[in-house]
Amino acid sequence: MPKILWVLSPLMLYAAYLAWQTWRGRAPSRLGLNIQTSLLLIAYLLGTASLGVFWVANQQLPVFDWHYLFGYCTLLLVAIHLFFNLPMVLQWLRRGPQRRTPAGSGALTLGKALGLVAVLAGVFWLGTRHGVNQLSFVWGAGGDAVAGTAEAVIRYHEFSSESRGGVFRRAQGVEWGVAPPEFKHYPAAPGIALEKANTNQRSLGAALRAPWPRSERLSLAELGELLHLASGVTARRGGNSYRAAPSSGALFPSELYLLVRSVQGLTPGLYHYDPERHRLELIAVDAASSAGFGAAEDADVLVLLTAVFRRTGYKYRDRAYRYAVADAGHLLENLRLAAHAAGMRARLLSRFDEAQAASALGVDGVQEGVLAIMDLRPAGGAPAAAAQPGLYLAPPAPRAADAQALGVTGMAQQATSLRLLAPPAGSGGLALPPPAAAGQNLYRTIVSRRSQRRYAAASVPLATLASILADLRQAPQLSEAIQVHLVVSRVAGLAPGVYRYLGDHSLALVRAGEFAAAAQSAALSQDVIGGAAVVLVLAAARQPMLADGARGYRHAYLEAGMVSERWLLGAVARGLAACPVGAFYDDEAAVLIGVDSKRHWVLHFAALGWPAGK
């Protein structure tokens, strides 16, 4: 039964009771109605308050819809209650109290109030204390370093997973505090204003295929456009600033820094990108020549992406690392495509020293950690040299005490980090229609993208879905462990069911039937998933993901974010709408797509369909 019916069922039963009594000629008096609706109001008020207090105290993702539905019913009953009691209140205000309060009634009232406070305090205690698990973990040492840190992310994934029965099992709480500032500024740093005009008319399809050929250096105007399309503010509404790349809860934890070596009109040095004012802030001069990133040191620009984890953590708690890294993947895919359109080759470094990069940026590496580095250079120039295999190894040392400030989030960041060491001494699926490249201008596609949560009932053409899936078939940047699954509800020419997208541009049927309701249920009952024509579900095969240690966990989420961003942009470029979703029950999501949750981890959902009203 839909959740709204469960929430409304007491009101519906009461309405049926009133109808039955009225039909029998025994309709209750005004006083009776007042008392009965007051009792209902008390029940709904306690239910709403208990849900709110419990989930706030528990510091985990709420079952979104239940709380606000109880709240709406409570407001309805409050309105009825006021209707019956307002005349009495007005009369009391006009005349004042007519008699003294009976002896002892004050103590009784106080006792009731204290009892209510005790009940709510008990709910808060249940949310904060019941089932708390203290996560203790010691890194492996020596030859077990890779295995040890891989075990750390396995533990992190378990503790940050959601399930209906696992709400009381979580890691020790973190004092996340209030929301940090939305934008980071360097007030004393000289600022360089940037442009964000559309300087080229290349399409999304062209940018997906390959970089546009060029040999000359990037100009300052072109750099400004790249940064605007990656992380710039593209809309402001209701006091909120929305960016070019989506972010869970519109929290935008990512920060961009640039080690500039060769850009026309820009002095080499270390810069921070300020998306609020669309400008660069010069942090240090000539820092690019001593960055220490090996083969990437000769790049025209190195873009370093960090995450301010508290921006996401204050709301999403232990799932903060998952969301922050997926958000980074969305941003990096925008940057990669914009770079291709500008004629720049974009390559993500798979191995670098996080502590060294954090030191170069002047960040602590814990509260704000380095997640990714992208090498930008003209597509017509010499390609970047390949990194030496084995040059970077997972850290065998125990985590620093300050890393514990973020609990399991800090543990996951350190487990997936590397440190610089010396080099060692010695198909059969359903064939899809041929894809058609997206012809819409890349700039327009990125700046017009918005997360759409309501979809029309119309079906998506199979050819259009095939073209969007073809957009996903880029060479992996960091991880080959990502698997693409689809929950199909309304695609013309394709039966409803769960499918896996194969590398030969075909679909393999996993489960036939209608699974929209199951997908919605797995995604914490969010209507955006239940109403979509198609739901993208990205998973990672655990063994290949962690083959080289815990670093693969970060790479998988970055890769998933990039794949999802191509899904979102491909939809917008073809007149459709899409929305990423990171909140779901991990165990139910695995069952939905037919994988073993011990061998495959679900990382990401994204809805797709025709926007409502079209």
At 156-192, the pLDDT tens digits run: 888 888 776 655 555 566 778 888 899 999 999 999 9
Give the pLDDT confidence score for residue 143 in this predicted structure: 43
Q: How far is the C-alpha of 155 from the C-alpha of 587, rounded, in Å?
A: 15
User: Where do the H-state alpha helices sit in 250-383?
Assistant: 309-316, 320-341, 354-361
For residue 341, pLDDT over 80 is answered with yes
**Assigned token pair, 365:** 């590496």
Residue 13: HSE in the Cβ half-sphere, 13 Å Cα cutoff = 8
Tell me the pLDDT tens digit for each residue of 443-478: 999 999 999 999 999 999 999 999 999 999 999 999
Tell me the pLDDT tens digit for each residue of 91-142: 655 665 454 445 555 556 566 667 766 776 776 666 555 444 445 555 554 4
Tell me the pLDDT tens digit for each residue of 353-400: 888 889 889 998 889 999 999 999 998 876 666 554 444 444 545 444
Of the given ranges (63-67, 219-223, 345-349), which has the lowest mean pLDDT?
Answer: 63-67
SS (H, E, C) 363-403: CCCCCEEEEEEEEEEECCCCCCCCCCCCCEECCCCCCCHHH
Q: How far is the C-alpha of 403 from the C-alpha of 322, rounded, in Å?
A: 17
- Can you point out the beta strands (E) in 217-363? 218-219, 233-237, 240-243, 254-260, 263-264, 269-274, 279-285, 301-308, 344-348
Residue that wins the pLDDT comparison between 295 and 525: 525
| Whole-Å CA distances, 292 to 282, 287, 296, 357, 554 | 19, 10, 9, 8, 22
Max Cα-Cα span within the chain? 97
User: Where do the H-state alpha helices sit in 261-319?
Assistant: 309-316
Q: Are the beta carbons of 441 and 198 closer than 8 angstroms? A: yes
**Assigned token pair, 239:** 């006091």
Residue that wins the pLDDT comparison between 225 and 144: 225
Q: What share of the chain has pLDDT > 70, as a percent?
A: 78
| Residue linked to tokens 């009109």 | 265
Looking at residues 335-362, what average pLDDT do you find?
Answer: 91
Give the pLDDT confidence score for residue 128 in this predicted structure: 55
Tell me the pLDDT tens digit for each residue of 402-447: 556 788 888 888 888 887 655 444 445 788 999 999 999 999 999 9
Q: Are the beta carbons of 125 and 149 closer than 8 angstroms? A: no
Distance of CA 118 to the CA centre of its chain: 36
For residue 63, pLDDT over 60 is answered with no
Closest CA to 320 of 330, 307, 331, 329: 307
Give the pLDDT confidence score for residue 545 in this predicted structure: 95
Q: Which helix (H) or strand (E) holds 498?
A: strand 497-502
- How would you classify the pairing of strands 240-243 and 233-237? antiparallel
For residue 564, pLDDT over 90 is answered with yes
For residue 205, pLDDT over 90 is answered with yes
Q: What is the pTM of this model?
A: 0.72
**Average pLDDT taken over every residue of the chain:** 83
Q: How far is the C-alpha of 315 from the C-alpha of 292, rounded, in Å?
A: 36
Give the pLDDT confidence score for residue 2 in this predicted structure: 64
